[in-house]
Chains A and B, each alone.
Chain A
Amino acid sequence: MNVAARPGLDRRAALRRLAGHAAMLYAGGPAVLRVPSGAGWGKSAHPTPRPGVTAARVLTAARLRELGAPDAVETFDQVRQIPQIVDGIRCRCGCADDPAHYSLLSCYEGDGMARLCEICTGQGRMAFRLTRAGRSLNEVRAAVDARYG
Chain B
Amino acid sequence: MSARLSPCGAALVGVVAGVTALAAPLRAQLAASEAASVMQTVDGTRMEVRYSRPRLRGRRGVFGTQVHWGHVWTAGANAATTLAVSKAVTLEGQPVAAGRYSLWLIPAPSGTWELVLDHDTTLFHTQGPPPRAGQVRLPVHPTRGPLTDVLTWSFPEVGATGATLAMEWDTVVVALHLRVTPSQSTVVAAADAAPVVGRYRVHFDFPHARAPKDTTAPHEEAPATDVTFDVRYEGNELRARMVPPLFREQDGYADWVLAPRRPGYYALGRVQQGEVVEFYDFMLLAFTTDSGRTTGFEMRGSDDARYAQGTRLP
| Chain A residues with a Cβ under 8 A of chain B | 1, 3, 6-7, 9, 11-12, 14-21, 23-24, 75, 118-119, 121-126, 129, 146-148
Contacts and interface: CB of A to CB of B under 8 A. Distances in A.
Contact of B223 (A6, A18, A146): A18
A20 B207 contact: yes
Interface string B204-241: 00111100000000011101000000000000000000
Given A1-B249, A9-B250, A19-B283, A24 B303 contact: yes
A96 B60 CA distance: 67
B264 A121 contact: no
A124 B265 CA distance: 19
Interface string B249-274: 11101000000001111000010000
Given A16-B282, A147-B265, A125 B249 contact: no
B264 A146 contact: yes
7 contacts: A6-B250, A9-B250, A18-B207, A18-B223, A19-B283, A19-B305, A21-B301
B304 interface: yes
Interface of B: 206-209, 219-221, 223, 246-247, 249-251, 253, 262-265, 270, 278, 280, 282-284, 286, 300-305, 307
A122 B264 contact: no
Contact of B302 (A9, A122, A146): A122
Contacts, number: 79
B311 to A, nearest CB: 18
B46 to A, nearest CB: 21
Contact of B206 (A19, A24, A129): A19
Nearest to A144: B304
Given A9-B250, A14-B220, A126 B307 contact: no
B253 A118 contact: no
A129 B264 CA distance: 18
Nearest to B220: A14
